[in-house]
Amino acid sequence: MKLYPLKFKPILKEKLWGGTKLKEVLNKPSESEITGESWELSGVDGDISEVANGNLKGVSLKQLIQQNGKDLLGERVINRFGDDFPILIKFIDAKQDLSIQLHPNDELAKERHNSFGKTEMWYVMNSDLDGKLIVGFDRNVTKNQYIKSLKDDTLLDLMNYEYVSKGDTFFINTGKVHAICAGVMLAEIQQTSDLTYRIFDFNRKDKDGNLRELHTELALDAIDYEKKDDFKVNYSSATDAVNEMVDCPYFKTNFLNLTTTMHLDVTDRDSFTIYMCVEGEAEIKNDWGTVSLVNGETILIAAASTSINITTTGTKLLEVTI
């Protein structure tokens, strides 16, 4: 099968905290005023992505993997994950603050939910004035102090706030409490998992007047209570170079700030490659075809590709592999 660069239909998610930037800025096909997420590439059961371009239009990601296995994902990836797609790619628009939450690690997730944990990273694409994130605690906290803060409604006093601007990047490991705050739009790269422990939701009610479920007890043994400054990613934005951002067991992400054509020999990569366009536009070519990519779009390049050519006069891309 000719595995040309593949685009997928965005899976749009309405959220209590969502807005309109995914439609207005990234041109997502939404009529809603509360679109919070666009799942660009998903192997999550119930939300499997479908190809949006070319001869394979309408074919699901699951079908592609079953039919093309190693050619699509890479032998090393197949050996590790089988026919599960290991990465979930999203764009997120927070018109209001998201709930404060955390994700369990692989061990807890497997034991409790028969799921992967959820390690993730964020790249800020757009931020209103004074846009910020909550990332971790601002001091070391004991479990008892944490429980008391929930009872006293003082959890927010323990949070670490990070003011952000375009290009800021954060690595959110499992156990770290976090929240995207109002006015921030970002790209998210994460393990394939939709497993979240919500610990505080600003006492908001959903459209039916109900408070959303909290996962207070489940979270107690999953939280990292230490103050750690391990979340801000320092990376180079050198032009026309492959700049490493994150290299963790679950994904590797590079930043490409391109002003001209780049040729990449990927013969020995043995992994699929994902490109998220976070600025500008480009044409991306592999062995079987060429596809245009604009701000807010995502493509998947098959592992069997021997080369990738990126033609542009100006673009910024997140390159994701395993």
- The residues annotated with a catalytic role in the active site are 198
Residues in the chain, overall count: 322
Partners of 74 in the beta sheet? Answer: none
H or E stretch covering 129: none
Partners of 169 in the beta sheet? Answer: 123
Tokens of 207: 């459209």
Cα separation, 255 vs 245, in Å, equals 6
Cα separation, 287 vs 279, in Å, equals 25
From residue 276, alpha-carbon distances to 20, 61, 164, 315 in Å are 20, 17, 20, 11
Within 10 angstroms of residue 154's Cβ, the number of other Cβ atoms is: 11
DSSP string, 93-138: EESSPPPEEE---HHHHHHHHSS----EEEEEEEE-TT-EEEEEES
Q: Report which DSSP code applies to 52.
A: -
Q: Report which DSSP code applies to 51.
A: B
Query: In this structure, what are the phi and psi dihedrals at residue 230, rounded to the nearest 5 degrees?
Result: -110, 15
Tokens of 312: 């542009």
User: Contact, 98 vs 181, CB < 8 A?
Assistant: yes
Cα separation, 270 vs 70, in Å, equals 9
From residue 129, alpha-carbon distances to 84, 101, 182, 183 in Å are 40, 24, 10, 8
The 3-state DSSP composition of the chain as helix, strand, coil percent (nearest 5) reads 15, 40, 40
Partners of 308 in the beta sheet? Answer: 264
